[in-house]
Amino acid sequence: MKILVCISHVPDTTSKINFTENDTKFDTNGVQFIINPNDEFGLTRAMWFKEKQGATVDVATVGLKDTEPTIRKTLAIGADNAIRIDTAPIDGYQVAKELAKVAKDGEYDLIIAGRESIDYNGGMVPGMLAKMLGYGFINTCVSLEIDGNTATAVREIDGGKETSKTELPLVIGGQKGLVEESDLKIPNMRGIMMARKKPLNVVEPIGNEVSTEAKKFTKPAPKGEVKLVDAENIDELINLLHNEAKAI
């Protein structure tokens, strides 16, 4: 079984976010970048298929040279090959088109992507990728088993979970639950050394047209001031809730 895991290079959620050029560009200075968490759950599940079923695992990202430390971490975790499509990711459609070309060329049985990235939270790429390839698609996937050519997946739906069975090839949008957080792999020294010898293939983009453009970024409004009321002063609390907050 050949597996392709799609990787996004995203800012750590603990990073302080700023913008430059009149709030039109994201400021990367001092920002730590990581593997998109939803993608990391998918990569860990792919590694399970490699260890238990002998699958081969490739990873692919759309990004410039600054994404290579992130993609090399996936090699240190255990991926066999890495592919970097040498263009900046601008929108979901562009990214899906670039990944679709790699997926077609590689003839993969299973493509695992995170259901969304934690930077833009677009949630578009896995579904569009499946459509472009003509593959089945299961989103918000929290469990995946493969038996021969048959995949059994569990996905979250409103009010519960749904179990589906389908044939490969397949695209899934994975998330937390696909594996437990305790199962996520931390690269060890042996993995880091071996990663240096594994291929990181840089491929030219197909150069498809970008459909959207970010005009301006705006930070969330700062938190408002908090008024503290003595626990014994119930009348004052009721007065503030009624006359100032208009909550009652």
- Cα gap 18→198, rounded to integer Å: 35
> Tokens representing 42?
């998918």
Q: Which amino acid is at 186?
A: I
Q: Which amino acid is at 182?
A: S
> Tokens representing 219?
């930070």
> Tokens representing 244?
């100032």
Question: pLDDT class for 211, splitting at 50, 70, 90?
Answer: confident
> Tokens representing 18?
């700023």
10 Å Cβ neighbour count for 225?
5
Q: What is the pLDDT of residues 31-87, one digit of tens each?
A: 999 999 999 999 999 999 999 999 999 999 999 999 999 999 999 999 999 999 999
> Tokens representing 94?
């562009």
Q: What is the pLDDT of residues 155-210, one digit of tens each?
A: 999 999 999 999 999 999 999 999 988 889 888 888 888 888 888 999 999 987 78
What pTM did the predictor assign? 0.86
Domains of the chain in start order, with CATH, are 2-217 (3.40.50.620)
Q: What are φ and ψ of residue 113, in 5° steps?
A: -130, 155
